[in-house]
Amino acid sequence: MRTLTVELGERSYPIYIGSGLLEQIGSYLERHSVSTKSPLLVVTDDHIAPLYLDKTVEQLEHHGYRVVTSVVAAGEKAKSLSVFEDVMTAAIQGGLDRKSAVLALGGGVVGDLAGFVAATYMRGIKFVQIPTTILAHDSSVGGKVAVNHPLAKNMIGAFHQPVMVLYDVDTLQTLPMRDVKAGYSEMIKHGLIWDEAFADWCYSHADSLLSLNREDLAYGLEKGCAVKAAVVSQDEQENGLRAILNLGHTIGHAIEAVGGYGEFLHGEAISIGMIGSALLAVNRGRERSIYTRTKEILERFGLPTALPKHVDTEQLISALLHDKKFKENLIVFVLPVAIGKVEIVSDITLDEVRSVIEQLKEEA
């Protein structure tokens, strides 16, 4: 088993990565002082529930926990205020109190939604992340929790750190291939923003990672989590450095919004967005190899690197302008300086973005 710590003073917490951890969930909760006297709420979705919910509840009950469950429909649409209200209703009806904890059993969608419930229920109760997707190596660490507004993603949210992240890599074996690939998008991002050697390692281990080789997968997740933890430890609430984690996200979030939060998976949209950022950098004079290498790595994982022609440029621009990174007619972007290094640029014009969107469509 691999253990990492997100260093945040009194809010520090461990990330446990390994095999067979779900079977030990009860003892991990006890170790982290989650009370058996108050009910727990396990939030999951209807793809994950038939696979892992009974087993999780059984383990918890075996340890003396009283468990309430809330199963939401799978997919990004669950990150909405109406589903948030449904989960809150389950928490209230289940009698959760201030000593209760919310457990997110699932991917980034369940994690963000359940985390926002934990952050707001009775002004904040304990939260535990049990990630079941590759992408969630990113979303389960760092405490950003949120639901979407139809106009823009993650607009309604909070910072609420979990008390622990319990990452059972066995659960990843049941992931559909499209979600496997999409999950690697954020892992590659961690290499692209921070560590060229890790980006190269991802590229050279693509076959083994795509076939879910347990050892390489655990190593990749640990490295990805370590990058995220290092960044978050230095800037918990995104006053500066943490923004580098948004590489590809400004265009990516707009792509998700115009696709109605259904056409593109988050990781797919971020993949196209990272190509967009590379093109913006190249258009501003950076070496073209940044773009070609980024594309090569993402394509090795079967990730999309072009925008389908049917996506309307102006609609995309308008979605992008609802994004929180927009200030005084100029847009803040994370741009690559080299593979493994990025900078935050705050004077990107709409014309530059428009031109890159057209370039992304030409690639299709």
Instruction: List contacts with ligand NAD (CB under 6 A).
Output: 45, 47-48, 51, 74-76, 79, 106-110, 112, 132-133, 135-136, 138-139, 142, 144, 171-172, 174-175, 179, 182, 186, 266-267
Asked about 246 being catalytic, the answer comes back as yes
Which residues on neighbouring strands pair with residue 43, listed in sequence order? 70, 104
Q: Which residues contact 289 (CB under 8 A, 6 or more apart)?
A: none
Minimum distance of ligand NAD from residue 319's CB (angstroms): 14
Catalytic residue among 126, 190, 242, 286: 242
Q: Which two tokens stand for residue 71?
A: 């199963």
Q: Which element (helix H / strand E) includes 23?
A: none
Of all residues in this chain, which one has the CB nearest to ligand NAD in the complex? 108
Asked about 249 being catalytic, the answer comes back as yes
Minimum distance of ligand NAD from residue 147's CB (angstroms): 9
Asked about 205 being catalytic, the answer comes back as no
Residue 124 contacts residue 98 (beta carbons within 8 Å): no
Distance CA 106, CA 223 (A): 20
Q: Between 21 and 282, name the residue whose CB sits nearer to ligand NAD.
A: 21
Q: Which two tokens stand for residue 149?
A: 């507004």
Catalytic residue among 47, 137, 228, 300: 228
Minimum distance of ligand NAD from residue 73's CB (angstroms): 9
Asked about 190 being catalytic, the answer comes back as no
For Cα atoms 136, 141, 143, give the angle at the middle one, nearest 5 degrees.
120
Q: Between 154 and 359, name the residue whose CB sits nearer to ligand NAD.
A: 154
Q: Between 118 and 282, name the residue whose CB sits nearer to ligand NAD.
A: 118
Catalytic residue among 79, 160, 223, 249: 249
Q: Between 187 and 282, name the residue whose CB sits nearer to ligand NAD.
A: 187
103: DSSP letter = E
Strand, helix or coil for residue 2: strand
Minimum distance of ligand NAD from residue 210's CB (angstroms): 16
Q: Between 109 and 290, name the residue whose CB sits nearer to ligand NAD.
A: 109
Asked about 309 being catalytic, the answer comes back as no
Asked about 76 being catalytic, the answer comes back as no
- Strands, E, within the chain: which ranges? 2-6, 13-18, 40-45, 67-72, 101-106, 126-131, 144-149, 152-159, 164-168, 326-327, 330-338, 341-348
Alpha helices in 94-195 (DSSP H): 108-120, 136-139, 177-194
Asked about 253 being catalytic, the answer comes back as yes
Catalytic residue among 76, 153, 181, 186: 186
Asked about 242 being catalytic, the answer comes back as yes
Minimum distance of ligand NAD from residue 329's CB (angstroms): 26
Catalytic residue among 266, 286, 293, 295: 266
Asked about 238 being catalytic, the answer comes back as yes
Minimum distance of ligand NAD from residue 252's CB (angstroms): 9
Strand, helix or coil for residue 335: strand
How many residues are listed for the chain in this entry?
Answer: 364
- Name the packing angle between helices 177-194 and 288-300 (round to 10°): 150
Q: Between 186 and 216, name the residue whose CB sits nearer to ligand NAD.
A: 186
Asked about 266 being catalytic, the answer comes back as yes
> Which residues are identified as catalytic?
123, 144, 186, 228, 238, 242, 246, 249, 253, 266
